[in-house]
């Protein structure tokens, strides 16, 4: 028997025609219940504001229920539900004004029906669908399923085109770089003349320190001698060629070439981020501070991902003094790939002072004022982040927080999702007592894309910058930086 | 005389520790508490209800009693304490709502909203009309009354030292928009599945 169901609200009418093949007419009369509709043959959805209506079969109904239900949740929470917008027979999206919505439906003959709804009309559509879903006598297999969407979709406040900007500019600069590099000759790998000598020396078992000082005029005599030696050994070369740089590790000379040829990182902001990363890395790994009895100075070369590719002792610091520092543990042997990629290098002067303080400065100083990467400008978002930051910090900064009577002032960079991705002490007390604050524990640089695994310690996500003052007695103040 | 009068006047059934009506709201997986954002949304919706009906908080208490929620909300002070979990409040308590407490407040919001369906629809229709004709919101008496009351409540109870609150207090238009947005949310609570929709929407963007 055929069954008809209708759900009415002031602005929307949903009408279902269907049947139940297993039902004999007298059955329902006997039980006194409405007959159960188990198959739907036609669905129509009419709107009071429009001559147009939507219609279709079961597929259309499924799609309508899903899109309407998801979009209803989106309007309630303000957080987009991706499923409502995905390509489907029925889609719902925001209209041209905040209280307007657009319902789009594909008809079976390939046409598109657009219906504009205001919020009241939309609500009636949501409720008509809910009424149908909760009707146990009509298609009981179709039920309302509500699930919250994941945190990943929360970045709702920034328009998509703005979020795409870093990506677009990244792809753009890659393309430009690719075009420019196309015109550069492929660097030929030439094995230096004196390699045989070196190879022989190595076979002799002499230790070749990776931080060999570069050749100076005084060394020229030695070099000549080495060259002569090389000539003598020319015959041996054929039998015993020097190790080709095929493996991951590269020789000291290649490293030297890398360091001299590498393009220096000069952008003050990049230098600053690498410096902060190095500081955390080195300071965090410098355990035995008492072992350092005199200032130890090193020139440290690092790549954009914060890897220390080389270091050498400077300012009368004995070369072996690195054993007292965490540098040997942190040194990261660059690979052949790094050479081919001609990774840019930043040099820093790193001083381990005898009173246990770490100092890091760019070797060549800053050429300009470092910034803090991309910043969030939307005042609404900033205010929200600021409030969230206060809540977070108040929860963890209590009366036990020791300030020794000082105000500890920091600059703190926070991502849109509220993660503290960057911070920097702003006064001496903050520098000294950083470890007493909750900041080191709360820091998640990865949230802003500051991630060695990702290949860069320069943030890819915009951040809001705030001044945070930890005060005695568990008080904390947050203001825009 | 009604039947209940035959019982001693001080006789009261012991209230259930976990009111049955809360079971109508699903327990979400991996959720054991509420974020500050949820506290804030719940309190703002209650604030909007107060702006809709005079004596709103008394009606909320009456609803709590009708729906047998006294084990969670037994008096005015408890209700006030629960609402002070909103971090925007001047009297922010820095404590959080338990899941049953949050559910109870959601039940109250959706029940009150359903009773106010006609008014909510009327106000939103008026809002649409004023927008379509480019008229100021003050043009419609009942709508401007709601917005004016909402602004007054917001001003008197929210902490102007919070950056977000300061932003709202600074820009009247933004605060008006908030009042309308809350009215829209209340409209969605009036439907057959409104209670469930509101409850689940609170956790949008909060779960993994």
Residue B115 is predicted with a pLDDT of 94
Percent of chain A at pLDDT exceeding 90: 16
Nearest-CA distance B208 → chain A (Å): 5
Condensed to tens digits (0 to 9), the pLDDT of residues A263-294 reads 788 888 888 888 888 888 888 888 778 878 88
Closest residue in A to B85 (Cα) is A391
Closest Cβ–Cβ partner in A120, A148, A390 for B200: A148
Which residue do the tokens 């209670």 mark?
B195
Q: Decide if pLDDT at A149 tops 60.
A: yes
Say yes or no for a CB contact (<8 Å) between A79 and B185.
Answer: no
The pLDDT of A160-169, averaged and rounded, is 55
Condensed to tens digits (0 to 9), the pLDDT of residues A59-111 reads 999 999 999 999 999 999 988 888 767 778 899 999 888 789 999 998 878 88
Which residue do the tokens 């919706």 mark?
B45
All structural domains of chain A with their residue ranges: 2-150, 268-362, 379-480
DSSP classification of residue B14:
P
Structure token digits, residue B16: 């259930």
Three-state secondary structure of B51-115 = HHCCCHHHHHHHHHHHCCCCCCCCCHHHHHHHHCCCCCECCCCCCCCCHHHHHHHHHHHHHHHHH
Confidence of residue A462 (pLDDT cuts 50, 70, 90): confident
Query: Contact at 8 Å (CB) between A119 and B124?
Result: yes
Condensed to tens digits (0 to 9), the pLDDT of residues A176-194 reads 777 777 777 666 665 555 5
Q: Mutate which of B186, B193, B207 to test chain A, going by most A C-beta atoms within 10 A?
A: B193
Phi-psi map region of A139: left, alpha, beta (phi>0 left; psi -120 to 50 alpha): left
What are the backbone angles phi and psi of residue A416, rounded to the nearest 5°? -60, -30
Condensed to tens digits (0 to 9), the pLDDT of residues A195-210 reads 444 444 444 444 444 4
Task: Return d(Cα A40, Cα A230) in angstroms, integer.
Answer: 90
Residue B201 is predicted with a pLDDT of 94
Three-state secondary structure of chain A = CEEEEEEECCCEEEEEEEECCCCCHHHHHHHCCCCCECEEEEEEEEECCCCCEEEECHHHHHHHHHHHHHHHHHHHHCCCCHHHHCCCCEEEEECCCCCEEEEEEECCCCCEEEEEEEHHHHHHHHHHHHHHHCCCCECCCCCCCCCCCEHHHHCCCCCHHHHHHHHHHHHHHHHHHHHHHHCCCCCCCCCCCCHHHHHHHHHCCCCCCCCCCCCCHHHHHHHHHHHHHHHHCHHHHHHCCCCCCCCCCCCHHHHHHHHHHCCECCCHHHHHHHHHHHHHHHHHHCCCHHHCCCCEEEEEEEECCCCEEEEEEECCCCHHHHHHCCHHHHECCCCHHHHHCCCCEEEEEEEECCCCCEEEEECCCCCCCCCCCCECCCHHHHHHHHHHHHHHHHHHCCCCCCCCCCCEEEEEEEECCCCEEEEEECCHHHHHHHHHCCHHHHCCHHHHCCEHHHCECCCCCCEEEEEEEECHHHCEEEEEC
All structural domains of chain B with their residue ranges: 32-192
Say yes or no for a CB contact (<8 Å) between B196 and A395.
Answer: no
Question: Interface of chain A against chain B, CB under 8 Å?
Answer: 10, 72-73, 75-79, 81, 97-99, 118-120, 123, 126-127, 130-131, 133-134, 144, 146-151, 153-154, 156, 379-380, 382-384, 386-388, 390-391, 394-395
- Integer CA distances (angstroms), B30 to A106, A291, B34, B92, B151, in order: 38, 48, 11, 26, 36
As separate numbers, helices (DSSP H) first and strands (DSSP E) second, chain B gives 9, 0
Closest Cβ–Cβ partner in B128, B164, B180 for A384: B164
CATH number of A2-150: 2.30.31.10
């Amino acid at each position: 028997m055929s069954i008809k169901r209708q759900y009415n609200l002031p602005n929307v009418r949903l009408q279902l025609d269907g049947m139940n093949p297993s039902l004999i007419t007298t059955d329902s009369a006997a039980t006194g219940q409405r007959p159960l509709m188990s198959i739907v043959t036609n669905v129509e959805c009419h709107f009071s504001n429009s001559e147009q209506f939507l219609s279709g079969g079961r597929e259309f109904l499924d799609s309508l229920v899903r899109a309407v239900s998801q979009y209803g949740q989106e309007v309630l929470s303000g957080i987009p539900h991706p499923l409502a917008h995905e390509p489907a027979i029925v889609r719902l999206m925001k209209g041209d004004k905040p209280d307007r919505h657009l319902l789009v439906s594909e008809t079976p003959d390939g046409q598109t029906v657009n219906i504009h709804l205001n919020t009241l009309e939309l609500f009636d559509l949501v409720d008509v669908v809910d009424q149908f879903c909760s009707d146990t006598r009509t298609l009981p297999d179709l039920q309302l399923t509500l699930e919250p969407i994941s945190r990943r979709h929360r970045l709702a406040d920034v328009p998509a085109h703005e979020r795409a900007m870093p990506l677009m500019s990244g792809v753009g600069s890659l393309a430009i770089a690719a075009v420019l590099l196309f015109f550069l000759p492929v660097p030929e790998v030439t094995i230096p003349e004196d390699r045989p000598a070196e190879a022989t020396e190595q076979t002799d078992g002499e230790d070749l320190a990776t931080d060999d000082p570069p050749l100076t005029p005084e060394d020229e005599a030695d070099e000549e001698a080495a060259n002569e030696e090389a000539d003598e050994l020319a015959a041996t070369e054929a039998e015993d060629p020097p190790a080709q740089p095929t493996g991951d590790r590269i020789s000291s000379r290649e490293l030297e070439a890398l360091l001299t040829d590498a393009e220096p990182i000069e952008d003050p902001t990049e230098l600053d981020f690498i410096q902060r990363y190095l500081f955390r890395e080195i300071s965090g790994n410098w355990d035995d501070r008492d072992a350092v009895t005199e200032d130890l100075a090193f020139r440290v070369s690092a790549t954009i991902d914060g890897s220390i590719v080389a270091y050498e002792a400077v300012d009368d610091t004995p070369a072996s003094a690195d054993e007292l520092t965490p540098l040997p543990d942190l040194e990261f042997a660059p690979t052949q790939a790094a050479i081919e990629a001609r990774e840019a290098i930043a040099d820093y002067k790193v001083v381990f002072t005898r009173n246990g303080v770490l100092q890091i400065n760019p070797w060549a100083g800053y050429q300009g004022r470092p910034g803090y990467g991309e910043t969030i400008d939307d005042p609404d978002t900033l205010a929200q982040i600021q409030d969230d930051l206060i809540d977070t910090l108040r929860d963890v900064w209590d009366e036990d927080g020791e300030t020794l009577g000082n105000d500890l002032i920091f600059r703190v960079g926070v991502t849109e999702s509220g993660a503290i991705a960057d911070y920097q002490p702003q006064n001496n007390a903050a520098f000294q007592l950083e470890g007493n604050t909750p900041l080191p524990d709360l820091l998640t640089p990865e949230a802003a894309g500051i991630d060695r695994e990702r290949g860069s310690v320069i943030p890819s996500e915009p951040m809001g910058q705030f001044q945070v003052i930890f005060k005695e007695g568990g008080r904390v103040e947050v203001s825009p930086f | 005389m009604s039947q209940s009068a035959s019982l001693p006047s001080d006789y009261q059934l012991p209230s259930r520790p976990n009111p049955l009506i809360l079971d109508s709201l699903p327990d979400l997986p991996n959720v054991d508490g509420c974020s500050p954002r949820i506290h804030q949304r719940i309190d703002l919706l209650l604030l909007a209800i107060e702006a809709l009906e005079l004596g709103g908080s008394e009606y909320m208490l009456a609803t709590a009693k009708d729906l047998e929620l006294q084990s969670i909300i037994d008096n005015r002070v408890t209700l006030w304490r629960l609402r002070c979990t909103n971090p925007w409040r001047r009297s922010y308590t820095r404590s959080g709502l338990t899941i049953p407490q949050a559910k109870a407040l959601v039940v109250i919001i959706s029940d009150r909203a359903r009773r106010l369906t006609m008014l909510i629809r009327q106000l939103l229709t008026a809002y649409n009309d004023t927008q379509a004709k480019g008229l100021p919101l003050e043009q419609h008496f009942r709508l401007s009354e709601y917005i004016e009351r909402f602004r007054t409540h917001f001003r008197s109870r929210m902490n102007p030292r919070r950056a977000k609150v300061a932003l709202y207090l600074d820009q009247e238009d933004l605060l008006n928009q908030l009042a309308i947005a809350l009215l829209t949310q209340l409209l969605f609570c009036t439907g057959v599945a409104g209670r469930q929709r509101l409850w689940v929407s609170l956790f949008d963007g909060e779960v993994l």
